[in-house]
Amino acid sequence: MRLLSVTIFAFLSAAIAAPAGAASLTLDELTTPLTRTVRVTSAPGPVPEGSFVATGLKMNDGVSSFIAWCFDLTHQIAKGGPYTYTATDTPFSNSFLTAGAKDRAERLFNANYGSVDAYDAVQASAFQLALWEVAYDSNFDLTSGQFQGTGRGSFAAQIASTAAGYLQAASGFSGRGGWKVTFLENQNERTRQNLVTASPVPLPAALALLGGGLAALGAVRRRAVLKQRENA
């Protein structure tokens, strides 16, 4: 996946280490053109039905940028800001999420995010739709349950099919993945749209060293075999 920066900005690492910390963020723009590419046909409680803009959000902390996604259909966020966010391990008291949403979102990211292009209209819309499904339902199925939705517009069928594929991959995912998923809670009283983002999990130093050692050992063995063949 193409990110706006090599690493997600310094706030994320600081906030993970100290959840009480907060950062001021702005929304620069969307990753794809502003169109309502998703239609929610059924939703629980106060979560609205209707047509929605579904795409990545280019957020900025004043130093660097990263891509976030909406994890909260009950509030809005507008271009500009600033908005005050904190990282949280317990999303989100004001979003009416279904129990287990955090775990399902982490599974969705880890099963799919490495191949999602946030700048592609179909993939971005599909991933956002899949995120809303795991936020507000537990069955990984957009055609049944308390949350239902589909694509809208010229690429409606492709969006729906791609989202279904992301959800199927997430439903069968288990174990540890390659992404650190971070939930960002908005502290602004009027908007308060909560977000989620992800950054690649770095290879632990011990594994990196082990991998390097194995590669070097393999190279030594290959040279030894070649030398034996030359002397034969």
Residue 40 pLDDT level (bands cut at 50, 70, 90): very high
Q: pTM score, two decimals? A: 0.81
Give residue-wise pLDDT tens across range 102-137.
Answer: 999 999 999 999 999 999 999 999 999 999 999 999
**169, containing H or E segment:** helix 156-171
Contact assessment for residue 102 and residue 62, using Cβ atoms and an 8 Å cutoff? no
Check whether 218 has a pLDDT greater than 60: no
Check whether 224 has a pLDDT greater than 70: no
Distance CA 160, CA 150 (A): 5
Distance CA 127, CA 143 (A): 16
Max mean pLDDT range (17-31, 141-155, 210-224): 141-155
Max mean pLDDT range (89-98, 134-143, 196-205): 134-143
Distances (CA, A) of 24 to 61, 95, 187: 6, 20, 10
What is the pLDDT, as a whole number, of residue 222? 54
Q: Where are the domains of the chain?
A: 10-201, 204-232
What is the pLDDT, as a whole number, of residue 21? 66
Check whether 207 has a pLDDT greater than 70: no
Max mean pLDDT range (33-37, 45-49, 131-135): 131-135
Check whether 180 has a pLDDT greater than 80: yes
